[in-house]
Amino acid sequence: MSLKVGTRGSKLALAQADTVCRKLTAMGIGVEQVVITTQGDTNNGVPLHEIGGQGVFVRALDDAILGGEIDCAVHSMKDIPAMRPSGLFTAAVLKRDPPADYIAYTSALPAVNVIGTSSTRRRAQLLRHDPDISIKDLRGNIDTRIRKLNAGEYDAIILAEAGLIRLGIRIPGERLPPDIFVPSPNQGTIAVVSRADPPLMESLSALDHPQTRTDVAIERGVMEQLGGGCFTPLGIYCRAGHLIAEVLSLDGRRTERIETDVHSIEKAREQGRILRGRAQDLINDAYAALRITP
């Protein structure tokens, strides 16, 4: 068997695809990488909520699978929207890398005043921690973000720790505790999406890590009930069945949060409905502030 494996062209996406391809090669499966350009790559100077949310990194790869151009695609699982086209299947979820955010800085942490991020979640969590901090928009790949930090445009920037690990980047800073700065759902996880073709799915399933799949499925169960995508500041993190989920106001002044043990998707959805009931006004306010129709 030989597979065409689709990926975005960023360094991080290629590193993630390389990880999957090495594993497939070790199983005796031939691979060919195919780079697909997505809308998220061509509009990297615009905040995600202005170009359609996290799905902008996925749609072109979905179309390439459904059109037969590639057999499967490698994604950061946090980029995959809750609603998926028919005919596609998440064939493998790799063992999770550290899911936490990482604050990288060029001077001592107490001297940090200006932090770069375009994530509404990270912005709200930072403002909750320190309402006096200044947050400036920051997009682009990891190299671009670090270059802007080193150029003095920011005192610090927020990155996903998993991305730094996958690229072998070491930079001064520290991990933000995920129980306080709750990560995006599925952060730190690589997924392989394929056509819903049984022989193909069976081959890719050898890459699957059952505990990670269960944890991220619980996170997605909560996310499906909350909605909001990247428009609403929300963090959802499950580790071995222990779930933390929160919704924040855009300014970080208000938070609705649940923390409990969950071991089934239905229970996860139930917790998501409970949290949405408590946080509906925060979700509505986020959409209204960003001038988006829910």
- With beta carbons less than 8 A apart as the criterion, state whether 255 and 128 touch: yes
Pair of tokens at residue 103: 């604050």
Q: What is the pLDDT of residues 10-66, one digit of tens each?
A: 999 999 999 999 999 999 999 999 999 865 554 445 444 443 445 667 989 999 999
Q: Is 145 an active-site residue? A: yes
Q: How many CB atoms lie within 10 A of CB 115?
A: 24
Segments of the chain scoring below 50 in pLDDT: 42-44, 46-53
Asked if 101-175 and 209-289 have one fold, the answer is no
Q: Which fold has domain 101-175?
A: D-Maltodextrin-Binding Protein; domain 2 (3.40.190)
- With beta carbons less than 8 A apart as the criterion, state whether 196 and 89 touch: yes
Tell me what pLDDT residue 141 has. 86
Q: Is 230 an active-site residue? A: yes
Tell me what pLDDT residue 248 has. 97
Q: Is 22 an active-site residue? A: no
Tell me what pLDDT residue 91 has. 96
- The CATH number of 1-94+189-208, from 3.50.50.60, 3.30.420.280, 3.30.56.10, 3.40.190.10, is 3.40.190.10
Interstrand relation of 242-248 and 255-261 (parallel, antiparallel or unpaired)? antiparallel
Look at the alpha carbons of 65, 48, 188, 151 in this order and tell me if their dihedral is positive or negative: positive
- With beta carbons less than 8 A apart as the criterion, state whether 138 and 116 touch: yes
- Which of 62, 71, 79, 97 does the annotation list as catalytic? 79
Tell me what pLDDT residue 291 has. 64
Tell me what pLDDT residue 219 has. 96
- Which of 78, 166, 213, 276 does the annotation list as catalytic? 78
CATH architecture label of 209-289? 2-Layer Sandwich (3.30)
- Which of 8, 145, 213, 276 does the annotation list as catalytic? 145
Look at the alpha carbons of 285, 289, 293, 294 in this order and tell me if their dihedral is positive or negative: negative
- Which of 213, 230, 269, 276 does the annotation list as catalytic? 230
pTM of the predicted structure, to 2 decimals: 0.88
Q: Is 291 an active-site residue? A: no
Alpha-carbon torsion, ordered 186, 192, 197, 198, to 10 deg: -80
CA distance 212 to 80: 16
Q: Is 128 an active-site residue? A: no
Domain ranges of the chain: 1-94+189-208, 101-175, 209-289
Tell me what pLDDT residue 53 has. 47
Tell me what pLDDT residue 52 has. 45
**Where do the H-state alpha helices sit in 67-184?**
120-129, 142-150, 161-167
Q: Is 155 an active-site residue? A: no
Tell me what pLDDT residue 228 has. 60
Q: Is 121 an active-site residue? A: yes
